[in-house]
Amino acid sequence: DWCLSRQVWWGHPVPAFECRVQNPGRKTDGKRWIAAETAAQARSKAAEWFAVPEQSVVISPDTDVLDTWFSSSLLPLALASMRRGPNDAQTPYPLSMMETGKDILVFWVARMMLMGMALGQGVMPFQDLVLHGLDLESSLRQNKAEGLLNEHEFSAALAEQNAAFPSGIPVCGADALRLTLLYSDVKSDRVRIDVDRARAMAAFANKIWQATRFVTQHNPEPIPSAETNLERAKRPIDAWILSQLASTVEKCDVGLRNYDFHVAVAALYEFWYGAFCDVYLEACKSVLWGPECDVKIGVRAVLDVCLDAGLRLLFPFMPHVTDELFHRYHRRCGASFQPPCESLIRAPYPVPEKWKQFENPDLDAAFDEAFKLIEVLRKHKLGLKLGKVRPDVAVVWPNMAGHVVAQFRDVIVDLAKVNSLEFCLAEADVSSGFLLLAGPYPDVNVFMNVERLNVDEEIARRLVNIQKDLDGLKEKINSKKFSKIVPSRRLQIEKKYAALEFEREQLAAAVKMQKS
């Protein structure tokens, strides 16, 4: 079957008409092909040629279309003519950047340039050209003439696909597919289509939907002035999320200006998932579920601003989901850095200049340290099988970095799900009965009150699991294939091995301390 885009009704009709008369006024066979823009123009030209009245001319348009690549080269001219008003002498081309595959650089792009320069008064149809790689499935290029695979390879690939997706490839949606492709560097030679990543992006769209629903539930009324209410957001975590948003705006701006779309998509994915949903929304729940106060009003304003800007930033990459959520949210944040609008298609895109006021690199660095502590506490709770038990925790941080992290004490307690958290400068300051555990750094120790548990049994179980993981990693490191693994993956494995060894030493020291 021939591609749909090659069908006659999808192409540019040949601007030619077969014209006939029965009794021409000059010596001719009564038939002639006339090139014209319209049937009326062709009839007028034919009547003049045959020297007869126009009513005597019978015309029939050519039923064929122009050659595919010739027709494609007319695209900028056709779009410009569609935008031209009746009194416009010339309308500028609608494209500033052309994005296409390098395999049709000569067939299409060069011809558009030639036609545009020749028929567009010497003006180039676009200023920038971005060439994407080839979309591949299982690292093979699709060939419409030969097919993707031969019969044997097709059977093997089909069996592999049925094993991976016994119920068929899941429906992910256009936005998830678009984000899947843009998550990779589309300017590289090969762009692999990853179904698992498409499923992850569909889950990402659902995450954004749920986050919008959460904000809407806690913001039942539109906020008239985001700038005024933001002044009430006094918590360090509020300033941190706005700094993260400002950084995301900067990364999106750089990515779009350089046509590095994957840079912008990665920044948005990290902001929505890592910063807004997994951290800030969780850190806001205790405030939003509490009594009405200035802090709560400030938190609502921050949620409004982050959601509105986040949807605007993501719109070019996920237009359907974001615009639907924007209309459902229907928020009107009155702020100079974020003017209200009716639809994302008409919304100003966030620019770094208006968001620099929120940048705070020192606070970003402090929260990075705090989050490392959160991950350590979560890991220890999981290893000791504490479940929903919230232990008391003391952290010995001998230098001033602990004081910087301490400003996020409430957030650490909420996200790590511990009962209390104290920062100490020396082990002597820690109450008795606390178990010594590994901290985020060698000179930082975590003490956890786990009197209600059989500590020796839990530590012994954890040591067995650590040893099992170490043996597996050591076998992998000593294998001949390890040197052939990409350097980033090798470094990741080596870091994991070192971290497990450090944890084993800390647990062994804890056991020794308990016995003494």
Q: Between 321 and 116, name the one with better pLDDT.
A: 321
Print the domain residue range for 405. 365-515
Residue 144 has pLDDT above 60, yes or no: no
Range with top average pLDDT, 22-31, 351-360, 384-393, 463-472: 351-360
Q: Which of 359, 391, 407 is the last residue of a domain?
A: 359
Q: Do residues 308 and 396 share a domain?
A: no
Angle at 430 between CA 428 and CA 432, to 5 degrees: 100
- Indicate if the pLDDT at residue 3 is higher than 60: no
Residue 248 forms part of a structural domain: yes
Rounded CA gap, 64 and 248, in Å?
Answer: 51
Looking at 359, 392, 424, the residue that finishes a domain is: 359
Q: What is the secondary structure of 483-500 as a DSSP string?
A: GGS-HHHHHHHHHHHHHH
Quick: pLDDT tens for 495-504: 888 888 887 8
Say yes or no: 456 and 348 in one domain. Answer: no
Q: What band does 280 get if pLDDT is binned at 50, 70 and 90?
A: very high
Check if the beta carbon of residue 469 is closer than 8 Å to that of residue 500: yes
Domain co-membership, 458 together with 499: yes
Alpha carbon distance 347, 349 (integer Å)? 6
State the total domains in the chain.
3
Under the banding of pLDDT at 50, 70 and 90, the label for residue 18 is very high
Q: Is 241 in the same domain as 305? A: yes
Using DSSP, state whether 125 is helix, strand or coil: coil
> Hey, is 298 helix, strand or coil?
helix
Q: Are residues 320 and 381 in the same domain?
A: no
pTM equals: 0.74
> In sequence order, what are the residues at sequence separation of 6 or more whose Cβ sits closer than 8 angstroms to the Cβ of residue 77?
115, 116, 119, 120, 125
Instruction: Give the 3-state secondary structure of residue 20.
Output: strand
**Same domain membership, residue 354 and residue 386:** no
* Same-domain status, 213 and 323: yes
Whether 241 and 336 share a structural domain? yes
Consecutive H or E run containing 476: helix 455-478
In a domain, 124, yes or no: no
* Cα radius of gyration rounded to whole Å, the chain: 33
Same domain, 371 and 505: yes
Instruction: Let me know whether 394 and 479 are in one domain.
Output: yes
Q: Are residues 487 and 388 in the same domain?
A: yes
Q: What is the percent of the chain with per-residue pLDDT over 90, rounded to a whole number?
A: 33
